[in-house]
Structure 1
Amino acid sequence: MSAAAHRRLTTDSWESLLHSQVSMMRELHKEPLFKEVGSREYDVLFSLSKCPTGWLRLNELNDNVLLTQPSISRMVDRLEDRGLIQRKTVEEDRRGVLVGLTEAGAELQKKVGRAHVQHIMEIMENALTDDEMGTLLALTGKLRRSILDR
């Protein structure tokens, strides 16, 4: 393959990945429950729900969501004001702050999560076979690892 053809394949592949992600997100944002909690807010609630201890430092939360550090701080403030998350001081480091779900936050995450997963399944199952989903998972994981390993 020529260098020009390789460059074109690389950029076409990237653009295809990006456009499919944007199309999926636009479709998923149509979910009525996302009027109750925005998708970025849900991202925070979901990340906290997956944490084994139930608590994360802000910088750890930032590693798991698609927000910048200043945005996540404001998001945490808003979610705390709504009674969906809570903060506590780190025992070993009094300056450190941990963030975790409240009971209301955990309930909302589960409610939205069930509808969200159903919507994702409808989209994915209509477009891809199980084998294709496995290939997609392997390829996107490989891309992410190549960046994390740099």
Structure 2
Amino acid sequence: MTDRKLALEAWESLFRAQHELFDEMVTDFEHGDLAQAEYDVLLTVTRSPGMTARLRDVTNNMLISQPSVSRLVDRMVTRGLVAKCPDPDDGRGALIRATDAGARTFRALATIHGRSIAERMSRLDDDELRTLRDLAEKLRRG
């Protein structure tokens, strides 16, 4: 049986580390052309085949509600970062496609943000990074 006190200590340490790293990396978005939430949308969309993802898949990768994601995507459409069209396989759904401008803007910030992440994660060696990745995936799988 898992030691309850140890489980709580591990959770608190993981939560605080994530929060502190997140606070440090938010500066990556201060002078860019994308807000962090917009970056997250484009991360999902640009990684999808044809740079197109279902709105529900974008929502599943976000930490905000479905109505908030829909409003965010609508604002991104207005800004020319993504295009939105009906999903032919789901009458109630929508497909989100990165525009050329959206993909360029994303890639420019992704380069900066990727360096920032690598720099902060360099506190761990490669074996520790693999262990952290594997443990986080194990926790996510339930």
TM-score (norm 1): 0.87
Identical counterparts, % of pairs: 37
Give 1:41 deviation, angstroms.
Answer: 1.1
Residue 12 (str. 1) matches residue 9 (str. 2): yes
Cα separation, 1, equivalents of 2:113 and 2:36:
10
Mean alpha-carbon deviation: is it higher for 92-101 or for 39-48? 92-101
Farther-moved stretch of structure 1 (17-26 vs 89-98): 89-98
Is 2:121 the counterpart of 1:129?
no
| Residue of 114, 119, 124 corresponding to 2:116 | 119
Query: Which residues in structure 2 correspond to 1:1-150 (within 5 Å)?
Result: 6-31=3-28, 35-125=32-122, 127-146=123-142
Cα drift, residue 93 of structure 1: 4.8
Three-state SS of the structure 1 residue aligned to 2:50 is: coil
The amino acid that maps onto 2:140 is: R
Q: How many residues align?
A: 142
The CA deviation string for residues 20-71 of structure 1, in whole angstroms up to 9 with x for no partner, is 1111111111125654211111000111011123222211211122221011
Q: Which amino acid aligns with 2:87?
A: V
The answer for unaligned runs of 5 or more in structure 2 is none
Specify the SS of the correspondent of 1:30: helix
Give the secondary structure class of the aligned counterpart of 1:37.
coil
Structure 1 residues 44, 26: closer, same or farther in 2, change over 3 A? same
Q: Using structure 2 for the length normalisation, give the TM-score.
A: 0.91
CA contact (8 A) 1:47 1:65 kept: no
RMSD, aligned α-carbons? 1.8
- The letter of the residue matching 1:84 is L
Structure with the bigger percentage of strand: 2
The one-letter code of the counterpart of 1:8 is K
Q: Shift of residue 103 of structure 1?
A: 0.6
1:96 is paired with a residue whose SS is: strand
C-alpha distance in structure 2 between counterparts of 1:32 and 1:62, whole Å? 21
- CA gap 1:130/1:62 in 2 versus in 1, 3 angstroms: same
Rounded Cα–Cα distance in structure 2 between residues aligned with 1:105 and 1:49:
9
- Cα gap change, 1:136/1:89 in structure 2, threshold over 3 Å: closer, same or farther? same
Gaps in structure 1 of 5+ consecutive residues: none
Runs of 4+ in 1 over 3 A off after TM superposition: 32-35, 91-96
Which has more radius of gyration? 1
